[in-house]
Amino acid sequence: MEDWKHTPERNAPCWCGSGKKYKLCHMRQDERIRMWEREGHIVPTPGMIKNEKQIDGIRESGKINTAVLDHVAAHICAGMSTEQIDRLVEEKTRAFGAIPAPLGYEGFPKSVCTSLNDQVCHGIPSRDVILKEGDIVNVDVSTIYRGYYSDSSRMFIIGETTPERARLVQTAKECMQAGIAQVKPWQFLGDMADAVKQCAQKNGCSVVEEIGGHGVGLEFHEDPFVSYVAPKGTEMLMVPGMVFTIEPMINAGTEEICIDEENGWTIYTQDGKPSAQWEVTVAVTLDGCEILAW
């Protein structure tokens, strides 16, 4: 089912694949979604809503993703190359019987993204990039386990850093947390975005506009696109069963960015000032949200 125009009969199997009768599964929720749609709001398609089995699968993938980041946290240090971080992620992920999702994705050459200082995202691990005292680095891990995808990242401060960088890392974390607090059913992605933007601006930072979060679970990147600069009350309605990432990229200076023309992947701040990002995968529940990977 691609939209809400042709829903099953009451006693027919639910479109979600749960095996339950439609009237006992998604019927009431679908009626509510159609009401919001008639009022002119953007609503998720059926394909954006996961059933219980699918969320269970994403949750298991998320446990591995979180454990891999814990493993990185236990070993990351000055003097380590970002290539060594990639090796840690690759080996630990496969030890769990899982697959690193970035490896080979649209040609990406490594198993993890490592983005340092003024790199906003999609940094490519290299034996030539050595972590040093004062660096801040985002390690972005994504996992495929039994066909289900999860995605989360953390910031790491290497030794002692400058007050500006330390504040930026903390602000980025607070922005993510402000967004999580606004993930509730029958509210809007714009409500979450507005909370993120307000938190960033309050702390003298900017939010990257061109790159946002995304749906995740059955594929690495799914709809919807998740903005962190949209106004409150706009964007897509959040509905139980939606799974997406919250990963605002927070810059110390301008929100403007540029891409590394040589590798075609790494995004930098336009002004050379540092950037920071934390990421979680969340599922919208009946009364809030559940963090599936962090």
- Backbone phi and psi for residue 113, each to the nearest 5 degrees, phi listed first: -100, 135
For the segment 229-250, the average pLDDT, to the nearest whole number, is 97
Distances (CA, A) of 63 to 82, 110, 182, 278, 279: 23, 21, 23, 17, 14
Which stretches within the chain are classed as H helix?
A: 27-38, 52-75, 82-95, 163-181, 189-202
Q: 10 Å Cβ neighbour count for 4?
A: 17
State the pLDDT at residue 7. 86
The CATH H-level superfamily of 49-293 is Creatinase/methionine aminopeptidase superfamily (3.90.230.10)
Domain boundaries, the chain: 49-293
The strand pairing partners of 226, in sequence order, are 213
Work out the pLDDT band at 209, boundaries 50, 70, 90. Answer: very high
The Cα–Cα gap between 213 and 210 comes to: 10
Which pair of structure tokens corresponds to residue 55? Answer: 């969320």
> Are residues 98 and 144 in contact, defined by beta-carbon separation less than 8 angstroms?
yes
For the segment 30-47, the average pLDDT, to the nearest whole number, is 94
Q: What is the pLDDT of residues 263-281, one digit of tens each?
A: 999 999 999 999 999 999 9
The Cα–Cα gap between 235 and 54 comes to: 25
Mean pLDDT computed over every residue of the chain = 96
The Cα–Cα gap between 278 and 153 comes to: 5
Work out the pLDDT band at 111, boundaries 50, 70, 90. Answer: very high
H and E: helices and strands count for the chain: 5, 15
Closest CA to 108 of 280, 285, 264: 264
For the segment 115-140, the average pLDDT, to the nearest whole number, is 98
State the pLDDT at residue 206. 98
